[in-house]
Amino acid sequence: MPELPEVEVICQGLRSHLIGRTVSAVRGSGKPLRHLVPLALMEEMLGDRVIETVSRRAKYLLIGFDDGSLLIIHLGMTGNLGLFPHCAALKVHDHVRWQLENGSELRFHDSRRFGGVWLLNPEQAAARESGFFAATGLEPFSPDCTPAHLLGLAARRCQPVKTFLMDGRAVAGIGNIYANEALFAAGIHPARPASTLKKRDWQQLLFLIRSILSQAISCGGSTISDFINASGTSGYFQMNFQVYGRKGEPCPRCGAAIEKSAISGRATYLCPRCQRQSRARPVHI
């Protein structure tokens, strides 16, 4: 599933092509994604509306219009967005298409149909933080996301720190790949209870999370399954993975074999020497 850097890369790639453009029509396959796509409502609300903003919140892409309405898109596991000429041949899983007045078309392609498209009216869009995103945590780059904030959230949580980081209600947008990489960089065992981390641990971990996410964004994200960015190319941050997907390979720091374990049902990669945790007993795969 595309994580924060992948969605940010798509956002950056689309921004210059979409801002100032007018939606002339909305078309779709009629097949539901995560839920039924409101094609008729989008046609009614977005027809002749001008795109003013393209942004990201957590793993969601946000497209704002001149009347204050907001289109929210989640890519799911295999979704991607791309710009094509109106006349370009459709693919089987092109499920939603927003035609623009300049002859181009924004297409949402999703083979597994786990993605989602939502449309908020101006009132709903203005209240999205207390409405649609009410259960979503702070962005990791937000100035309000501080070591003290994370320390307070984790104080009574005995869940593994990796699970805590991936909980979008605590921190927005950190998925499995970047949780693995950040914890390795910090030398913290992913199964360590979140409540046991001290403020200095959160200071280091937050710094590394931001650094790794920034590096991934600059690399265009990571190649994940059939994920591609807005330009139709794959990211290359996977070339910088230190532990993710490297079971049995030598740790880049100490040379010990990278291990793979299951934590909260998710594949977890760690160095048993650099990330020691006496109380953690991961289940090896």
Whether residue 160 is contained in a domain is answered as yes
Number of domains the chain contains: 2
Q: Which domain CATH number covers 207?
A: 1.10.8.50
Catalytic residue of the set 59, 97, 113, 192:
59
Whether residue 270 is contained in a domain is answered as yes
pLDDT tens track of the chain, all 285 residues?
Answer: 678 988 898 888 889 999 999 999 999 999 999 999 999 999 999 999 999 999 999 999 999 999 999 999 999 988 888 889 999 999 999 999 999 999 999 999 999 999 999 999 999 999 999 999 999 999 999 999 999 999 999 998 999 999 999 999 999 999 999 999 999 999 999 999 999 999 999 999 999 999 999 998 887 655 444 444 455 555 444 556 899 999 999 999 999 999 999 999 999 999 999 998 754 444 444
Decide which of 95, 126, 157 is a domain's last residue.
126
H/E segment holding residue 23: strand 23-28
Q: Say how many C-beta atoms besides its own lie within 10 A of residue 146's C-beta.
A: 15
Question: Could you tell me if 97 and 212 lie in one domain?
Answer: no
Question: Could you tell me if 65 and 182 lie in one domain?
Answer: no
Question: Could you tell me if 97 and 190 lie in one domain?
Answer: no
Q: What is the pLDDT of residues 118-157, one digit of tens each?
A: 999 999 999 999 999 999 999 999 999 999 999 999 998 9
DSSP assignment letter at 53? E
Active site residue 59: yes
Q: Which domain CATH number covers 11?
A: 3.20.190.10
Question: Could you tell me if 73 and 167 lie in one domain?
Answer: no
Question: Could you tell me if 111 and 153 lie in one domain?
Answer: no
Question: Could you tell me if 164 and 207 lie in one domain?
Answer: yes
Question: Could you tell me if 171 and 85 lie in one domain?
Answer: no
The CA distances from residue 240 to 104, 121, 185, 212, 213, in Å, are 35, 41, 12, 10, 12
Question: Could you tell me if 217 and 88 lie in one domain?
Answer: no
Whether residue 139 is contained in a domain is answered as no
Question: Could you tell me if 167 and 261 lie in one domain?
Answer: yes
Q: What is the pLDDT of residues 93-106, one digit of tens each?
A: 999 999 999 999 99
User: Residue 281: its pLDDT value, please?
Assistant: 45
User: Residue 280: its pLDDT value, please?
Assistant: 42
Question: Could you tell me if 66 and 174 lie in one domain?
Answer: no
Whether residue 121 is contained in a domain is answered as yes
Question: Could you tell me if 154 and 108 lie in one domain?
Answer: no
Whether residue 131 is contained in a domain is answered as no
Q: Nearest 5 degrees, angle CA 45-CA 46-CA 48?
A: 115
Whether residue 180 is contained in a domain is answered as yes
Catalytic residue of the set 15, 21, 247, 266:
266
User: Residue 77: its pLDDT value, please?
Assistant: 86
Decide which of 76, 97, 126 is a domain's last residue.
126
Whether residue 137 is contained in a domain is answered as no
User: Residue 228: its pLDDT value, please?
Assistant: 44
The CA distances from residue 174 to 46, 97, 164, 182, in Å, are 31, 28, 10, 10
User: Residue 261: its pLDDT value, please?
Assistant: 94
User: Residue 219: its pLDDT value, please?
Assistant: 75
Decide which of 96, 126, 156 is a domain's last residue.
126
User: Residue 278: its pLDDT value, please?
Assistant: 57
Catalytic residue of the set 2, 5, 160, 190:
2
Round to whole Å and give the CA distance between 36 and 155.
39
Round to whole Å and give the CA distance between 50 and 20.
6
The predicted model scores a pTM of 0.88
Active site residue 2: yes
Active site residue 57: no
Question: Could you tell me if 260 and 151 lie in one domain?
Answer: yes
Whether residue 136 is contained in a domain is answered as no
Domain that residue 241 falls in: 147-284
